[in-house]
Structure 1
Amino acid sequence: MEYGLLGEKLGHSFSPQIHSQLAGYSYELVEKTPQEVEVFLKEREFQGLNVTIPYKKKVFDCCDQVSELARRIGSINTIANRGGWLYGDNTDYYGFRYMIHRLGVSVAEKKAVVLGNGGVAPAVRAALEDEGAGEIVTVSRRGENNYNNISRHYDAKILVNTTPLGMYPGNGEAAVDLGPFKQCEAVYDLIYNPLKTKLLLSAEKLGIPCMDGLSMLVAQAKKSCEIFQQISLPEEKVEEITGCLRRKVSNVCLIGMPGCGKTTVGERLAARLGKKFVDIDREIVKRMGKEIPEIFRESGETGFRKMESEVLSEVTKQTGQVVATGGGVVVTPKNCELVRQNGEVIFLKRDLRELTVAGRPVSQSRPLEQIYEERIDAYRSWSDFQVENRTVEKTVREIESLLV
């Protein structure tokens, strides 16, 4: 084989796609048990490898030469086969430094808290040191600094999550509550699925600059490619590939009043973007085997909203979709994080006089103007963009132009 990613359980990975855009070589996912790793490396039937958990430390002794950086960090995530001898390095360090520079918040002389002490944490600490950070504290479950006494570090200005908490399929979890970190100036979460973890959504809500781990993934891959090929690639490649990946995996969630055209616009938009279309109301009907008015009659609005949130949670964990929500999705506050976790939210607006109420229990229960006034603040605050729906084609083109 040429190049690949070595790990125990890899599942879905963006790495083959990233490396194909970097240099076009063959890149495979290589799953090996702990017993198979040493034999595989000794055979040396590859040109280069990236290494992920749980083997970043295990491969150390299998390399003939190790970079000073990798030795300092104590783990390896990149191995190049150079004429039969193995060279080991660590590119997580470069990836995280790229994140720091990309966000644009200086870490110099500032207290930083690193959540987690796993495979990537040493590289993060080394990068923070070289960027001139002040006190660097590692918080783990059983260390001297742990989640039971984290209050002693609420004065941190930089927060970095290296734990898997909040990663798919555990969306909605977070290692810490960001609220008490009153002096926090930047939040980095190395997770990239979902694109916005609960931690990042909290940072956004509090107005704290933050960044997900997608650009780090691409930046460390670029450095790995340079080590594999012994070449230099332009820095612009990182943003180019990151943008391409983000556009591919991002969801577009449509919110707005009942009858404003979310389904019609959503279906057309999905076709244009090459994404799957999902209508939340249709999914509820499919699951319950009943139409919406019947569900309302039997379970009331409270029962319907509970089902709506459950279906929405399942759907929005997935990526690469256009999702049309029900008009009342904003009635349930926790749904905000669900629609925002994997992409953009579009508030689709339409003149109230053009909205139909047939088959819509809530719309028939009281004047549309009253419903609109109850929901307008949420529609506006939940959305990234607001688009007037006058004609379907024009609306679809406008949404396309707004997306990242």
Structure 2
Amino acid sequence: MINLKFYNYNLSEAKTPEFKGETPFINLSPNIKEIIKDFSPYKNYKNYIIIGNGGSNTSFDSFWTALRSASINKSATIVTSMEPDYLYQVKSKNPIKDTLVIMISKSGDNVGALESLFFFNEYKKVIITSKKGTLFELSNKMGWSVIEHPQVGGRFSGRSAVGYGPAFLLDLDIAEIEEGAKNALQNYQKDNNDAIKLAKFLYDQEVNGNVDIFMPIYSHFLEGFSHLITQLIHESVAKNGKGQTILAVTAPESQHHSNQRFFGGPKNMIGVFMTVRDSHQSAKINLPKNCQDVALRDGKLDILDGRDLNESLKFEAQGTMKNAEEEKIPLAHIELDKITPFSVGELLVFWQFVTFYSAVLRDVNPFDQPQVERSKNISFTLRKEVKL
């Protein structure tokens, strides 16, 4: 379950904004049994190299970072760059006989990803792409297996073979992730739901000149979501001179650098904090008796003896939030009850809806990315101009 609370902000009525276009991410209805059937022939590999950019990897990265456990004896490497030294490092850690390469590209013409793909010529490959375009034609020529990419933009495609396929191969419970996602799909289409509330909060703050968002994430396991959320908000909302910039950082590490920007920099930044209420395991500090009288700030080390570390993590987040409240900085707090496959599915869909509503409130198209395409075209022209 996802809980939302605001500080230094009074929310007016949050009605669902009207959108007359198609909403492919809402209409997406993945067949989990079919995904499992399509990917089962590749289940026995120990290592998986996923090549792709943006939406081709961010949902899977969110699943994998949140849900991988010590009992999973497999590895996943996400390749997002053609940097030679990095590619050689990846190859050295992934023996050919134990490794499957998966390239994901809806358009099939991601030049950088294709370059990385050819670096792994000798590896077994599976391709996720549309049934047209360069990558599809290439797959036919090379005899590579193709699994169809749904007709939905990559950043909204997590609930499909794009996100669920690699997650299944890495032994994650994709059926339970989808159950959480379906639950969220129902909840976040209702009036006055938390996704529209957060979208309205962000919109109101932008109107007030707060164009930067500080988003500390107080869980190592939710770090993957920082990339997905950044992509969703930037690529879907930042158009026609509108939109906000997200600084998504791992916390409490962020308190040792980015708190200075949050509190001491330009007064155009708001907070969106993400925390988890309950951990799966408990851990308490056992302080040696002879150390308890050592001075610590304005007290002694003995206040740490027997302290529950999950409680301490909460104190770290609460300290920064209370500071923001004192400084009158508008703040939203998103709290997950616990990290499970179900809650990860909920969180995925929550942010998809926050993004969708944010774009609609600004009267921009949630599903295109014109400036992204322009940069890709320029980089391809530069390649053509340099003769080998």
TM-score bin, normalised by smaller chain: under 0.3
TM-score with structure 1 setting the length: 0.22
TM-score, normalized by length of structure 2?
0.23
Higher relative contact order (CA 8 A, sep 6+): 2
Q: Which one has a bigger Cα radius of gyration?
A: 1
